[in-house]
Amino acid sequence: MRYILIIISLSVFTLISFVKQETTTIDNEKFCNTLQSLLTAASSGFDSIKGASMERMITGNKKPFFISKLNFGNGNECYINASEAYPECECILASDTRITPELISQYNNYKKAVEACLPTGWRISEQDSTNSSYLKGRKYKKLVVREDITGKKVKFHLYMYSSMIEKKRIVELKIEGIGKKH
């Protein structure tokens, strides 16, 4: 009986490890295609990928958003704000109740996928508690990526942080689009 319990325990542990490992893998080709499409749409204020309009509660207020026609296929939608001057697209890539080793692993996997996907002409830097006084003592990371061109440029961040809006810890991609002239 003892051996059966040990075998069952090992089987459950192996299954849990496999499931956790599956959640941290990324289809790099699909990720890259979606990211490239989002970056292309960003240069025109995301107009080509705006789907249905909706409202989200953000800091106690309803804010208008659009659901993006593009997403990363992870069960989360991407949201585009309604600002013409400062358009942004936010996509939650992973979440957990706290900053766990699995969430850190997912952030690192998405960071590698971003770095592998971008063509030349982009500057990448990472901020965390080691190189930003604002972030001292926090489990927070931010990959900052910008086009290395003069004039209007697309910029995006890959964050791992505690989201007050989502009420959980998340890995999020936020792309800043190019606004329209008025």
In a domain, 14, yes or no: no
Average pLDDT, the chain: 82
Number of compact structural domains in the chain: 1
In a domain, 53, yes or no: yes
Alpha helix positions (H), the chain? 2-23, 28-42, 101-117
Q: Mean pLDDT throughout 16-45?
A: 77
In a domain, 17, yes or no: no
Look at residue 19 in the predicted model and tell me its pLDDT: 38
Q: Are 159 and 144 in contact (CB under 8 A)?
A: no
The pLDDT tens digits of the residues spanning 74-109 come to 888 999 999 989 999 999 999 999 889 999 999 999
Sheet holding 168-176, edge to edge: 50-58, 61-68, 78-81, 88-96, 168-176, 155-163, 141-147, 122-127
User: Lowest-confidence range among 15-29, 45-59, 146-160?
Assistant: 15-29
Look at residue 10 in the predicted model and tell me its pLDDT: 42
Structure tokens at 91: 């996509």
Q: Which domain holds residue 157?
A: 28-176
Dist CA 29 CA 5 (whole Å): 42
Global pTM value: 0.79
In a domain, 4, yes or no: no
In a domain, 23, yes or no: no
